[in-house]
Amino acid sequence: MEKYRLAAAQLDESLSRIREQRDHLLALGEAEQAAPLTRILNIVRLELELSPVGGPKATRH
């Protein structure tokens, strides 16, 4: 279980850095350069929303 918590913490840190970079680019008026970062964040958000609670193993019997 600890390895999942560590992975979740690393993912959270990475997403925070991506958000910061995207927000910085947007503040500079660089929406075109920020677009790929926004897409990454949207894909991750959707994946997390669609994933079963507890990850893929949670749905196995």
Q: Judge contact between 40 and 16, C-beta under 8 A.
A: no
What is the number of alpha carbons within 13 Å of residue 53 lying toward its C-beta?
A: 0
Q: Judge contact between 15 and 41, C-beta under 8 A.
A: yes
- Spell out the domain ranges in the chain: 2-50
Average pLDDT per consecutive 10 residues, the chain (61 residues; last block may be shorter): 88 96 98 98 92 60 44
Pull the structure tokens for residue 8: 């979740």
Pull the structure tokens for residue 47: 């994946």
pLDDT at residue 17, as a whole number: 98
Q: How far apart are CA 61 and CA 58, in angstroms?
A: 8
pLDDT at residue 55, as a whole number: 56
pLDDT at residue 34, as a whole number: 98
